[in-house]
Amino acid sequence: MTLSAATRERIAELVERFPNGRTPLLPALKLAQAEVGYLPPEVAAEVAELVGVPASAAAELVSFYTMLREHPAGDYLVTVCVQLPCALRGAHKLVRDLSAAFGIEAGETTADGAVTLESTPECFGACHRAPMARVNDEYWENLDEQGTERLIRKLAVSPSHTSAGRA
């Protein structure tokens, strides 16, 4: 047993509320991720068992949705939307700039575990303020060069990529 009794209880409530097969699986995986921080195979399998579906069903969702992580993220999870409106306003340049500042590629975490950089085609609903990034649960919008520099300073990423502060 990996999950706490409280999380297991909340998953049981989801199963009771949505008794139709896979329906409670995604919200149950989100609950598990909120507790554990990510979804290693054993946690995903535990959730599947609690929901009453095969472990492969949970593995499919974890590998499909970018909001679900198979590996731990840094203290700051920086996710850049590259959906068309953001892409047209410079999202790919934003990813390159952040990648250079952090010394990592999208999908990687800094050696000190401070920053994980991701890009995603999942829209965050901020198309009117593109390009944008979500840092944990905070939106950073209209990220032109000055905004990108402010974001980098906020995360206290040094030019040598050796330290990252905590907000």
pLDDT tens-digit readout, 5-18? 999 999 999 999 99
Are residues 20 and 88 located together in one domain of the fold? Answer: no
Are residues 60 and 105 located together in one domain of the fold? Answer: no
Q: What is the mean pLDDT of residues 141-154?
A: 95
Are residues 59 and 88 located together in one domain of the fold? Answer: no
Split into its structural domains, the chain has a count of 2
The share of the chain scoring above pLDDT 70, in percent, equals 93
Are residues 57 and 83 located together in one domain of the fold? Answer: no
Which pLDDT belongs to residue 164?
Answer: 39
For residue 167, pLDDT beyond 60: no
pLDDT tens-digit readout, 81-137? 999 999 999 999 999 999 999 999 999 999 999 999 999 988 899 999 999 999 998
Which pLDDT belongs to residue 135?
Answer: 95
Are residues 109 and 138 located together in one domain of the fold? Answer: yes
Distances (CA, A) of 15 to 2, 12, 23, 32, 68: 19, 5, 8, 14, 20
Are residues 105 and 36 located together in one domain of the fold? Answer: no
Q: Looking at residue 47, which CATH number applies to its domain?
A: 1.10.10
Which pLDDT belongs to residue 1?
Answer: 62
For residue 61, pLDDT beyond 70: yes
The share of the chain scoring above pLDDT 90, in percent, equals 83
For residue 59, pLDDT beyond 90: yes
Which pLDDT belongs to residue 161?
Answer: 40
Q: What is the pTM of this model?
A: 0.74
For residue 58, pLDDT beyond 70: yes
For residue 160, pLDDT beyond 70: no
Using the 3D structure, point to which of 41, 64, 87 is the last residue of a domain. 64
